[in-house]
Structure 1
């Protein structure tokens, strides 16, 4: 996976997805968090603190090899994305809260993701990789995460009609790009994938279920209204697998590290749908 075309193509692919995310955002999405701070703060706390600890525990429990363990931690550190907005809409969540959280998470991840990856590399020590994302790598994360989002927001502000017209094509393109990225990641690390397929699938499924459950249960225990808890659940539970794959492949240049993100990118959709159906069904029965 050291081809210059691939190393250049992956960040461009992610840039298109993040640009599409920016087309959906406005400065008001950031301001809106101030109007509902409790729900946003709880969701962000789950995302930034609880999930990395849960994922770390799962990596130890499953005894993952170092590269795959760091790949799982990279996935846990990745923010949510537009998929969370879609699922929140389908299952009666507070979509406005999702959009706000996505906006905030995209900014925060530029700083928290390198920290979590550094700590993971320091603990698991995969091969000769003794240092994770240094300043240069952190700058690369900033460029491929935040800059396209800002460009998308700028286009929406200056050309709202164009941004609206591009919404559907960019979404469809994002799905196609995600599929290609996942297939590429699986092929590049196929030996490790075949060797650890069972444990990877098990830990990814469990991590996804726990992420969704934490995102829903913690807000409800803190008396946050149900629609906001549903929004939190999908924002916390559905990570940006493409971001995890691109950073593993292009920034850290480790195909094996991208495998958890590739498997997660496939399995998160049916798991999230089943989880959404379950909590909606419980609501209907309660009514």
Structure 2
């Protein structure tokens, strides 16, 4: 989990390309629509900020995690959605503008909620309080990585629509390729940790990942949000900023405890696979439903 070419070069480059590709498919109208109908944003924030920490706490307690690993799992729950959630939402035909809006809002609110949740977790599981400084620098980085390339892509779409249309497919393919490379590199880099800690925290991290995704998709559906909005919220909540959680846990200036970073390592490896399966599943269900409707219409 030390700083490497993976975290300092490949990951930012991959995220930049991903965000550029998303910007090529967006217009300002997508964002004004989200602002005009704020219910989806409020539901997403309810899931992310209020319900998810309690779900994580229940999993940490029921799975009997050692205290440091339990705090690490709670740190992950307190972290904002990852920027790659926007890519998976795009691939799954979700409301990408809603994703980007939630990522931006969550990143700002996390400045307050992350220290609060982590300090409460330290007190509960370890019986100690430790100040976690407000992460203004990390929030600024998220804004730069998310909004910079997205804005460039949107500008190209507006000023050079023909060029942006030509760039869509190659940028999308390049995004997927970079994502696969980053995941493969992460698995190789953390292979020793994966083997030694999997029995202790693997099941809990996977359970939290699946619970996050299901909560993020099915609760909005129960609250009558449309399918695209529910996919966006599911991806936003299911894909956490594991890099941020690892950085906070490992930093000598913050928690200075690499054991607390272990849940984020496992979660980061699981979430890309489960997000891909989730996206495939909801789209397969949609196609099956459309086929049944078409078949019923042809018989009538």
TM-score of the pair, normalised by structure 2: 0.71
Rate the CA distance shift 1:154–1:213 in 2: closer, same or farther, 3 A: closer
Q: Does residue 109 of structure 1 match 2:106?
A: yes
Residue 92 of structure 1: aligned partner? none
Alpha-carbon distance in structure 1 between the residues aligned to 2:242 and 2:16: 13
1:1-287 residue pairs with structure 2 within 5 A? Answer: 1-3=1-3, 5-9=5-9, 10-65=11-66, 66-67=68-69, 69-71=71-73, 73-74=75-76, 77-79=79-81, 80-87=85-92, 89=93, 95=94, 98-125=95-122, 130-132=130-132, 134-135=133-134, 137-143=135-141, 145-160=142-157, 161=160, 162-198=163-199, 200-222=201-223, 224=224, 228=226, 230-239=227-236, 244-249=241-246, 253=250, 256=262, 257-274=264-281, 277=284
Q: Is the 8 A contact 1:46 1:214 kept in 2?
A: yes
Give the Å deviation of 1:151: 2.4
Deviates more, 1:185-194 or 1:52-61: 185-194
Structure 2: which 5+ runs fail to align?
Answer: 251-257
Alpha-carbon distance in structure 2 between the residues aligned to 1:68 and 1:186: 22
Residue 254 of structure 2: aligned partner? none
Give the Å deviation of 1:284: 7.3
Rate the CA distance shift 1:192–1:62 in 2: closer, same or farther, 3 A: farther
Rate the CA distance shift 1:165–1:206 in 2: closer, same or farther, 3 A: same
Aligned length: 272
Rate the CA distance shift 1:18–1:40 in 2: closer, same or farther, 3 A: same
**Greater Cα radius of gyration, structure 1 or 2:** 2
Rate the CA distance shift 1:175–1:32 in 2: closer, same or farther, 3 A: same
Give the Å deviation of 1:207: 3.2
TM-score of the pair, normalised by structure 1: 0.74
Give the Å deviation of 1:211: 3.2
Q: Is the 8 A contact 1:17 1:170 kept in 2?
A: yes
Rate the CA distance shift 1:103–1:284 in 2: closer, same or farther, 3 A: same
Alpha-carbon RMSD across the aligned residues, in angstroms, is 3.7
Structure 1: which 5+ runs fail to align?
Answer: 90-94
